[in-house]
Amino acid sequence: MPNRVIPVLALAALVLVWVLDLGVVLPNRIVAGTGYGLFGATGWAGAFVVTALLLAAGLLAAMPVPKRFPVLAVLLTAALMFLPLLLEALATRRLPADSAYARIGIGAGFWSLAFFLALMLTETMHQLKASRHLQLMAALLVIFGWWLCARREGLGSLSLLREYNNQADQFTQALSVHLSLSLGAVLISAILAFILALVMVRRRSWRRPLLGLVSFMQTIPSLALFGLLIAPLAALSEAFPVLQALGVRGIGWAPALLALIAYSLLPMVRNTFIALMEVPETVVDAARGMGMSERQIFFQVKLSLALPVIIEGVRITTIQAIGLTAVAALIGAGGFGTFIFQGLGQAAMDLVLLGALPTVFLALAADAVLSALNVRRAPGD
């Protein structure tokens, strides 16, 4: 059957890539530059290749041609892999050779084209009923292609790469802090949520108060919660010098970690509790009939059946924690949020992207890994 989604996406991409600026030539990192569309950036050759690619993808999906989706998958993956070469063409054609501070910024047309190509590839994989391994391979190929393009001399003037090269050490430190805070909060929350869920399963009277408490913490705005923790932690740090030695202060990693744990509890507690409560009694009775002890029933039957739902709670919490960790930079916690707020303060949007893009990538990577793990653990697979 003809596919209607991919032609619509291809048409939208074609319109946007011709209407919006593909890239911007900037005199320096702050001053607004001159935008160039697809033709101005790449010339007739580049414009023809991009237009022909989108038209071919749309027409191929619309026609009932046998085995067209494998061809589409290869075509779209290759297009995404080498998409940054369009920016290299812009640098070659338009970048002034006599300016040491001039650089190339990424325009809305480039992001739109990348976004719609990714959507088209996702739809193609869906039509192919591709396995998780095949989808992961396509994603890794795209990442590898962008890495190869970034190493080319022609893209050395890309503003985003210049920001990274200027702050490579800070970027590595921000990555370490971001992962430590977000994953540490998720790990601690998972342990606390499991304990609270067990208490709720065994004691009915505790269910409403505990769920009410974790739900209340979720309703507090993130910035407000960060602010509320500053005063008590500062007072505790003054009262107990051992806390100062551990780095616990009113600002920094301590209030950030506590706030992230508070926000992570609700989805984990709720998913764990519901998953354990919804294990069919017939399965439990059958396990007892086989002579299993209560401990064996819990770990080998209840927990095994509840694990996919528990992992789903961990997935949601991890994505949420990775995003909230960026906000924690406002109280001196570090992480990629440092680049975001520095860039906003300096009106340097590529510095903002240096913090925002890795945060998005970490969230997508966590979603992919935990989704794949959940598929493996799902009952009946």
For residue 35, what is the enclosing H or E element? Answer: strand 34-36
Domain boundary among 162, 195, 211: 162
Q: How many domains does the chain have?
A: 2
Tell me, what's the pLDDT at 378? Answer: 52
Whether this model's pTM surpasses 0.75: yes
Tell me, what's the pLDDT at 322? Answer: 94
- The CATH code of the domain that includes 285 is 1.10.3720.10
135 and 186 belong to one structural domain: no
Decide if pLDDT at 110 tops 50. yes
172 and 157 belong to one structural domain: no
Tell me, what's the pLDDT at 297? Answer: 83
144 and 264 belong to one structural domain: no
Contact assessment for residue 103 and residue 26, using Cβ atoms and an 8 Å cutoff: yes
137 and 184 belong to one structural domain: no
Structural domain of 28: 5-162
Give pLDDT tens digits for 247-258.
788 888 888 999
Q: What share of the chain is helix, strand, coil (3-state, %, to 5)?
A: 80, 5, 20
36 and 114 belong to one structural domain: yes
177 and 304 belong to one structural domain: yes
CB-neighbour burial class of residue 120 (10 A; exposed 0-12, middle 13-18, buried 19+): buried
217 and 357 belong to one structural domain: yes
- Report the interhelical angle of 253-277 vs 303-327 (nearest 10°): 150
Domain boundary among 162, 191, 217: 162
365 and 216 belong to one structural domain: yes
| Full DSSP string of 53-101 | HHHHHHHHHHS--TTHHHHHHHHHHHHHHTTTHHHHHHHHHHS-TT-SS
259 and 273 belong to one structural domain: yes
Decide if pLDDT at 205 tops 60. yes
149 and 180 belong to one structural domain: no
Decide if pLDDT at 44 tops 80. yes
Polymer length in residues for the chain = 381
Domain boundary among 105, 131, 162: 162
Quick one: what percent of the chain has pLDDT higher than 90?
44
Span 13-36, average pLDDT:
89
The span from the CA of 30 to the CA of 347, in Å, is 6
105 and 195 belong to one structural domain: no
Residue 171 pLDDT grade (very low, low, confident, very high; cuts 50, 70, 90): very high
Tell me, what's the pLDDT at 18? Answer: 95
Decide if pLDDT at 77 tops 90. yes
Name the DSSP letter for residue 378.
S
Decide if pLDDT at 236 tops 80. yes
Span 235-242, average pLDDT:
83
Give pLDDT tens digits for 276-305.
888 888 888 888 888 888 788 888 888 888
Tell me, what's the pLDDT at 381? Answer: 45
330 and 355 belong to one structural domain: yes
Decide if pLDDT at 201 tops 60. yes
Contact assessment for residue 124 and residue 178, using Cβ atoms and an 8 Å cutoff: no
Residues 6+ apart with CB under 8 A from 227: 331
| Residue among 43, 62, 45, 47 nearest 17 (CA) | 47
